[in-house]
Amino acid sequence: MLLRVALETRSHHAAADADRLGILQEPSAARCRGLLGRIFGFEAPVEAAIAHTPGIDPAVLRGRNRMSLLARDLVALGMTAGEIVELPRLHLPSRFSTATRALGWLYVVERSALVHGLVLRHLVSQLPSTMTGARAYLAAYEGSAGERLRTLGLALGEVARDAGAADAIVEGAKEAFHAQHRWLTVLRARGELAPQRAAG
């Protein structure tokens, strides 16, 4: 199942990686804060919606919740708790319509971590003082991102016992890739790096 999702979403992978690897060019504390703020605005509502979706084995989600780490990093980069609350966030329902759709979104969030080691190493070398207390999120899967994705693949295989479930996981992943790319690129283009109250 992991291979199928990867193959059927491969056209999205380069853009998804580039959204995060862009920080390698001319890194700065402000750019780090902007990138992590945009990631928080996407992943926090996704993480919450997945957690509230019925039918997902809690064991699948164990150890995959990283928003508290990301919030801690944003504080280390100079944001207050109030500013983090006011960051723009992706508007999602409080839960996904099906567990299979939610797992497709989880695949996208987990796959993003594959480039975090590279990003972290570069930022630490270029901005050592900035990254001293702001590395928890990027380092969360240090040395294990690939294995954690493979473990998720096993869980996807258990759920995808019929063609309909497998199709739903793939469609959820495609939907998530589109949403993620729009979110990260549109906010960056608008220069929306500072906190602002999200509508609704």
DSSP string, 167-183: HHHHHHHHHHHHHHHHH
Domain ranges of the chain: 2-190
Buried b (16+ CB within 10 A) or exposed e, 136-150: ebbbbbeeebeebbe
Domain 2-190 fold is: Heme Oxygenase; Chain A (1.20.910)
Per-residue pLDDT of the chain (200 residues; tens, 9 = 90+): 999 999 999 999 999 999 999 999 999 999 999 999 999 999 999 999 999 999 999 999 999 999 999 999 999 999 999 999 999 999 999 999 999 999 999 999 999 999 999 999 999 999 999 999 999 999 999 999 999 999 999 999 999 988 999 999 999 999 999 999 999 887 776 665 443 333 32
Contact (Cβ atoms closer than 8 angstroms) between residue 119 and residue 138: yes
Would you tell me how many other CB atoms lie within 10 Å of the CB of residue 184? 22
pTM of the model: 0.92
Contact (Cβ atoms closer than 8 angstroms) between residue 105 and residue 132: no
> Euclidean distance between the first and final Cα of the chain, in Å?
36
